[in-house]
Amino acid sequence: MSKPLILVLGDQLSPSLASLRDLPEGAVVALCEVIEEGRYVPHHPQKIAMMFAAMRHFAAELESSGVRVHYSHLDDDDNCQQLLEEAERLARHYGCDEIRVARPGEWRLYAAIQARREAAQQAPRTEEAQGEEAPPGEETALPWRLVEDDRFFTTPADFDAWARGRKSFRLEHFYRYLRKRTGLLMEDGQPAGGQWNFDHDNREPLPDHLAFPKPPTHEQDATTQAVLALVASRFGEHFGSLEAFHWPVTRTQALAELTHFLNACLPDFGRYQDALSDQSPFLFHSRLSAALNLGLLSPIEVCEAAEGEYQAGRAPLNSVEGFIRQILGWREYVRGLYWTRMPNYKRGNALGATRDLPAFFWSADTEMRCLKRAIEMTRDHAYAHHIQRLMVTGNFALLCGVKPEALCDWYLAVYADACEWVELPNTLGMVLHADGGLMGSKPYCASGKYIDRMGDHCRQCRYDPKKVTGTHACPFNSLYWHFLEEHREALGDNPRMKLIYGSLDRMKDEKREALHQQAEAFLARLETTPAYGQGRHLAGYRHSDKGSEHRDASDHADSQDAY
């Protein structure tokens, strides 16, 4: 009879987890806080605190249901501070004969586990060796067993089967396939409301004086308070503040967030899904991604709850369909892409981007108001909504040619919901078009006109979204045309970009040259930051000269052209 050690990772906090099913007598469940996981990118302190607090609460719940649990605290003297090594140490300590783990959320860990499995297969443990204590450094390899994580609508094998033989893997096709397979928002085999997609109803800009729902707060018990103090002392130098910590760290708290979303946000979720607000970080968004990714909520229960609101007449179809598409569609789709394309996916850089990360991504020290607010909200809440990630920080990085590894590390570090299986395809594929168009048929590039239309940042900005050259011109405008010029070879023949390249071609030479000069001058002044590990990601880092990105802006005459 085997005696396994079950390693439960920080984002596997679901009692129904495949590796926790049918536990044999004597099995030990281990959860391990380790420095290595907290530092491989400089995670936002709120993200680390949320994970540790949720892990501690989950371990206590397992224990109270009779499971034998070992919890490695970060400050335990014997904690070896590396996840897989710590699991092996514990397995030896408890005399376990194998380590079981559900598929992790990052290729890095998956590959390390596979390497250990292979090592164990090459050096099988004999009956005698299992009983003896080997001298330190000479232990025989312990067998690792990986089980599929089935807390999703699909497995990577399902995605692979769907994708096989297809020329393109667009989200819309996968989403429709999953709608049919699950029956979500289906009526007599047809999509509810006669349409698969209500996107055109979901692009309303922000009206003036709109009131936003106030998010729930959660009691911070002694466990959570201890974690907040620990994280402040051990990771306090990372970018991000702990002050406004509000994340749910138990299933009960996560369910309270879900109820709040269904009652107060879902009815307006659809129409303001793409809106930008200078004041509100959350608008009508659910803020459920972190709880979903930790495993406190399941995607199925969340989608069914939203569908129930439509069926009960409490939420309109455009909102409910828009919300379900994000979870049933995008979330599953990016996960399938990730697991079926890695590790090569991460090497993609189809547009040949080479720039380091702009320094103000770590300081919010910029006069570009939309970027400043997105980064400030990120710092204060470990959160920014999708349009801020895609069309503000992401769009800026795309237009400036920031290299994928620099941008991916930033997104992986700064958001409470960040895990590579979901972060990487969104950053590398959706934002940077670095996968050569596998995920999106065209890049999501936009000028200041888009940001102006969708919200109220521009009214509070020193730049003017209607100007394209001159000291007051919104930098997004010249960068946009510069980007199109730079990538004509890769994008010029794209049918979805024909119209915009037509406008570029019709532009007078002097104007094109003025735009080019404006963008080049901006890029020459843009301060960047070295890769993580060289210290400049730390809170309090400020680049040398506030507002320097416009310091010697060209004095071309302002143009009133808007794009």
Query: Cβ of residue 204: shortest distance to ligand SF4, in angstroms?
Result: 18
Q: Which is nearer to ligand SF4, 235 or 463 (CB)?
A: 463
Residue 474 site contact among ligand FAD, ligand DLZ, ligand SF4, none (CB < 5 to 8 Å, cut-off depends on kind): ligand SF4
What are the backbone angles phi and psi of residue 6, rounded to the nearest 5°? -100, 115
**CA separation for the pair 269, 280 (Å, rounded):** 14
Does residue 292 interact with ligand FAD by CB under 6 A? yes
**CA separation for the pair 204, 444 (Å, rounded):** 18
Q: How many CB atoms lie within 10 A of CB 39?
A: 16
499, 503, 560 from 506: Cα distances, Å:
11, 5, 17
Does residue 483 interact with ligand SF4 by CB under 6 A? no
Q: Residue 58 belongs to what H/E stretch?
A: helix 45-64
83, 279, 445, 448, 547 from 451: Cα distances, Å:
42, 15, 11, 5, 20
Give the three-state DSSP class for 274. Answer: coil
Nearest to 384 by CA among 475, 285, 247: 285
Name the segment binding ligand DLZ (CB under 6 A); options: 18-26, 104-112, 280-288, 333-341.
104-112
Give the three-state DSSP class for 104. Answer: coil
Query: Cβ of residue 490: shortest distance to ligand SF4, in angstroms?
Result: 25
Q: Which residues contact 161 (CB under 8 A, 6 or more apart)?
A: none
Residue 549 site contact among ligand SF4, ligand FAD, ligand DLZ, none (CB < 5 to 8 Å, cut-off depends on kind): none
Does residue 11 interact with ligand DLZ by CB under 6 A? yes
What's the burial of 459, exposed, middle or buried (CB within 10 Å: 0-12/13-18/19+)?
exposed
Name the segment binding ligand DLZ (CB under 6 A); options: 9-17, 140-148, 309-317, 338-346.
9-17
Query: Cβ of residue 332: shortest distance to ligand DLZ, in angstroms?
Result: 17
Name 6's bridge partners: 29, 100
Residue 463 site contact among ligand FAD, ligand DLZ, ligand SF4, none (CB < 5 to 8 Å, cut-off depends on kind): ligand SF4
Q: Which is nearer to ligand FAD, 411 or 563 (CB)?
A: 411
Query: Cβ of residue 370: shortest distance to ligand SF4, in angstroms?
Result: 3
Question: Which position among 42, 105, 156, 443 is part of the footprint of ligand DLZ (CB under 6 A)?
Answer: 105
What are the backbone angles phi and psi of residue 194, rounded to the nearest 5°? 80, 5
- Which tokens belong to 210? 């709109």
Question: How would DSSP label each residue in 173-227?
Answer: HHHHHHHHHH-TTEETTEEGGG-S--GGGS-PPPPTT---PPPP-----HHHHHH
Question: How would DSSP label each residue in 461-490?
Answer: -SSBTT--SSTTB-HHHHHHHHHHHHTHHH
Does residue 458 interact with ligand SF4 by CB under 6 A? yes
Does residue 359 interact with ligand FAD by CB under 6 A? no
Query: Cβ of residue 4: shortest distance to ligand FAD, in angstroms?
Result: 30
**Chain centroid offset of residue 523 CA:** 27
Name 190's bridge partners: 187
Residue 109 site contact among ligand SF4, ligand DLZ, ligand FAD, none (CB < 5 to 8 Å, cut-off depends on kind): ligand DLZ
Residue 394 site contact among ligand DLZ, ligand SF4, ligand FAD, none (CB < 5 to 8 Å, cut-off depends on kind): ligand FAD
Give the three-state DSSP class for 204. Answer: coil
Q: Contacts with ligand SF4: how many residues (CB under 6 A)?
A: 13
**CA separation for the pair 401, 340 (Å, rounded):** 27
Does residue 448 interact with ligand SF4 by CB under 6 A? yes
**CA separation for the pair 503, 497 (Å, rounded):** 10
Does residue 431 interact with ligand FAD by CB under 6 A? yes
Q: Which is nearer to ligand SF4, 44 or 457 (CB)?
A: 457
Does residue 369 interact with ligand SF4 by CB under 6 A? yes
Question: Which position among 202, 286, 363, 378 is part of the footprint of ligand FAD (CB under 6 A)?
Answer: 286
Name 7's bridge partners: 30, 101
Site string for ligand FAD, 319-338 (x = CB under 6 A): ----x--xx--xx--x----
Does residue 358 interact with ligand SF4 by CB under 6 A? no
**CA separation for the pair 242, 260 (Å, rounded):** 23
Summarize as ranges the residues that interact with ligand FAD (CB under 6 A).
285-289, 292-293, 323, 326-327, 330-331, 334, 385-386, 389-390, 394, 411, 415, 417-419, 422-423, 426-427, 430-431
Residues that bind ligand DLZ (CB under 6 A): 9-11, 32-34, 37-38, 43, 48, 51, 83, 104-106, 109, 419
List residues binding ligand SF4 (CB under 6 A): 368-370, 448, 451-452, 457-458, 461, 463, 465, 474, 476
